[in-house]
Amino acid sequence: MFLVTDTNSAIKAYDVTTFRPTRHWLLSGMDDPWDIRSCTRNKCLYVFNWKPTAFKEIWRICPESMKVVKKWSTGNDAGRLSVTHDSNVLLAVHSHNKINEYTANGQLIRDIKLNAIPGVRHPWHAIKLTNGHYLFSHGDLDDSMHGVCVVNGKGEVVRSLCEKKGSTLRNLDVPVNLLIDRRGHIMVADHNNGRVLLLSPNLEPLKAIISRSQGLRKPVRLALDEVNGFLYVVDCEFDFATRKWQEGEVLIMRIK
């Protein structure tokens, strides 16, 4: 497992069986890494480099040598990453309310604008589904509507769970990260509610699979190892005043 923090330029690797650190690298020029994703097909890592005083970048890195294979500018577009089933790279552009899709080498091939969808502002994370639709979470601190939505390639809504910010099973509060399991169920890191919420493939809320009662504070990232039956939850509070993540930890949960 590879981790980055936005306080330094290090990429850290951990053994997923012992949960102990194995290696770490310092990459020159990486000013403020916000997110990291892996691509098994191309055997590479993608890191979003915030670069506070310059245009933002996505770096493609070889995990064996930690050499930068490619980097490309996203201009002022910033957000979280995911890698698609066809090995493209998605960037959920938080402030500009859109989803960018790039090829593995950085060519922008799709720019999905979300401004026309009522109540949808500030996408946090996006995943491309195998049918070509796009699943994303949205809702920042001052937004009234928070939720999870599926759109087609034109940005038209296919289905949506979008309600006023809250803490019931149907109400989210800053849903910052998503993942999908092999059955098509969706897990949502519901940051301010301190839980990971499980949704059906049709976006129906099912249950909280981990919450504050189990020691969770504020989840920000999720990773799933279905082979070994582990859910990894990065637990770290986001300081909205400074737009920085505070010091956190990784919670490991055994799942069936």
What is the domain partition of the chain in residue ranges? 1-110
pLDDT of residue 16: 81
The conformation of residue 55, written as its DSSP 8-state character, comes to -
Average pLDDT rounded to a whole number, residues 98-106: 97
Residue 214 reports pLDDT greater than 70: yes
CA distance linking residue 138 with residue 164, whole number of Å:
12
Top-level CATH class of 1-110? mainly beta
CB–CB of 130/136 below 8 Å?
Answer: no
Q: What is the pLDDT of residue 228?
A: 85
Mean pLDDT score, 12-34: 87
Model-level pTM? 0.93
Given a cut of 90, is residue 68 above it in pLDDT?
yes
For the record, the structure tokens of 78 come out as: 């910033």
> In the structure, what pLDDT confidence band is assigned to residue 54 with cuts at 50, 70 and 90?
confident
Whether 43 has a pLDDT exceeding 80, the answer reads yes
Residue 128 in tokens: 């491309």
CA max distance for the chain: 47
Mean pLDDT of the chain: 92
Give yes or no for residue 83 having a pLDDT over 90: yes
Banded model confidence at residue 126, pLDDT cuts 50, 70, 90: very high
What pLDDT, on the 0 to 100 scale, is given for residue 245? Answer: 62
When pLDDT is cut at 50, 70 and 90, the band that residue 247 belongs to is low
User: What region, left, alpha or beta, does residue 154 occupy, with left being phi > 0 and alpha being psi -120 to 50 degrees?
Assistant: alpha
Residues in Cβ contact with 106 at an 8 Å cutoff, skipping those fewer than 6 apart: 58, 60, 70, 71, 72, 89
Q: Give residue 244's pLDDT band: very low, low, confident or very high (50, 70, 90).
A: low
